[in-house]
Structure 1
Amino acid sequence: MWGPGGAGGSGGYGIGTNALGGAGGGGGTGGLIGNGGVGGSGGSGKSSGGAGGAGGNAGALYGSGGDGGNGGAGVNGGVDGGAGGAGGKGGVFGDGGNGGNGGDGLVGKAGDGGRGGNAFVWGQGGNGGNGGVSANFGAVGGLGGTGGLLLGLNGLNGLQFP
């Protein structure tokens, strides 16, 4: 009933030539009064980075959504960066979680930023994650979450890189 959700684990490193990095685990849901857990980061990979895990939702009453995990990078000739995880939803009183940042690509596409979580009634929307950077293909930033129905600003959109 009370207490935060657990954090998601990080994804493993993809070590083989065409290996993908593992996806990060999602954060747990908070209790009736409790914050959502943070999403795990995606692992780096020789082919592509893994996606970041989503942030957990807050408890139904009080609490903020967990932040999304960051996407893993494509390394050592890797291609694409992983997408950032979405931020969790806030409770009746609480903010939405921030979206994770996209992973950097090397020769392929960078990962997109995760979407910010929505607040419910009273609270700020989470900020969108920033897009990753790549020499060839950029990525878009995540959209900011919406503010609470009665009080709260929308989150900021993440930055987009060319």
Structure 2
Amino acid sequence: MSFLFVSPESAAASAGELANLGSTIGAANAAAARSTTELLAAGADEVSTRIAALFGSHGLEYQAVSAQMSAFHEQFVQTLSAGVGSYASAEAVNVEQALLDLINSPTMTLLGRPLIGDGANATTPGGAGGAGGLLIGNGGNGAAGVMGQAGGSGGSAGLSGNGGVGGAGGAGGATGGAGGNGGWLLGVGGSGGTGGAGGGTGGAGGNGGFWWGGGGVGGAGGIGGGTGGVGGRGEWLIGAGGAGGVGGAGGGTGGAGGGGGLLIWLLYTWLLYTSTPPVAAGGRRDLEKKPQTQA
């Protein structure tokens, strides 16, 4: 493999010089415009007519070539400028990655997970997704299982982030992987993986964040009557529970939905209480008091 070293600053300066060259080309074309587009009328003899035709053809060819030259120059400058931008972006990404590696190095050494950044997606069959960063980062996705192997679980987030998606279960009735949990502060739980063909159960959805976050959707049951996965729980304060996974083709049962957060439960209880008519002392609901009529 051959390597190419490029200095974006030098390339940008070259692009600027080429752009200035365009004005020189334009000035040359303007100077030659009159002599290549205007000709004296040909004389009545045949020789003058042929000479006029020759110079006229030469002028047309010059105009065509000059137009092509201007277009080529413009395209070349644009290509060079785009290349400079690509190299500059690549250098910025490298610097950013080096900075992240420096920041994440202590926590990776002590805890095996980054401080900032998404967890890695699993690459081996049935492998679990990596955990997200302790401060910010989504969990990685679990990998699908092979024949008879359960899907990998999705990685959980740290303080803020969404849980990873569970991997699908392998054929032969393997269970789908569970979704990762959302961040401790906020984040949505990951969806559970689909159950494997042959009646595999769908993976459970991940739980939402501790303060805010909905639960993940349970994975669908596998073909052959697999049961859908249970939906993730909406966490402590605010968060709707995740929907249960649909049952697999062939008579599978859908999974149960996850419970909502405390605030959702209080709101539901209040609405239920305020919409129910009060019960009278005699055991009957006092729906309406009719006015008494005098005899």
| TM tier relative to shorter chain | 0.7 to 0.9
Aligned residue number for residue 242 of structure 2: 126
Residue-by-residue CA offset, 1:82-105 (whole Å, 9 max, x unaligned): 100000000111110000000011
Of 38, 42, 47, the match for 2:165: 38
Question: Which amino acid counterpart does residue 124 of structure 1 have in structure 2?
Answer: A
Residue-by-residue CA offset, 1:95-124 (whole Å, 9 max, x unaligned): 10000000011xxxx210000001111111
Report the secondary structure of 1:56's partner residue.
Answer: coil
Between 1 and 2, higher relative CO (CA 8 Å, sep ≥ 6) is seen in 1
* 1:64-103 matched pairs, under 5 angstroms: 64-74=188-198, 81-91=199-209, 92-103=211-222
Report the secondary structure of 1:151's partner residue.
Answer: helix
Question: Which amino acid counterpart does residue 129 of structure 1 have in structure 2?
Answer: G
CA distance in 2 between counterparts of 1:132 and 1:139 reads 5
CA distance in 2 between counterparts of 1:133 and 1:10 reads 20
Report deviation, 1:139. 2.3
CA distance in 2 between counterparts of 1:143 and 1:51 reads 16
CA distance in 2 between counterparts of 1:24 and 1:95 reads 22
Aligned residue number for residue 104 of structure 2: none
* 1:44-63 matched pairs, under 5 angstroms: 44=171, 48-63=172-187
Percent same amino acid among aligned pairs?
60
Residue-by-residue CA offset, 1:116-137 (whole Å, 9 max, x unaligned): 0011111111000011122xxx
CA distance in 1 between counterparts of 2:217 and 2:262 reads 18
Report the secondary structure of 1:150's partner residue.
Answer: helix
Residue-by-residue CA offset, 1:57-84 (whole Å, 9 max, x unaligned): 111101000000000113xxxxxx2100
Report the secondary structure of 2:264's partner residue.
Answer: coil
CA distance in 2 between counterparts of 1:97 and 1:143 reads 12
CA distance in 2 between counterparts of 1:34 and 1:68 reads 17
Report deviation, 1:151. 2.9
* Higher helix proportion: 2
Aligned residue number for residue 28 of structure 1: 155
Report the secondary structure of 2:263's partner residue.
Answer: coil
Report deviation, 1:49. 2.5
Report deviation, 1:147. 1.2
Question: Which amino acid counterpart does residue 252 of structure 2 have in structure 1?
Answer: A
Q: Which has the larger radius of gyration?
A: 2
Aligned residue number for residue 143 of structure 2: 9
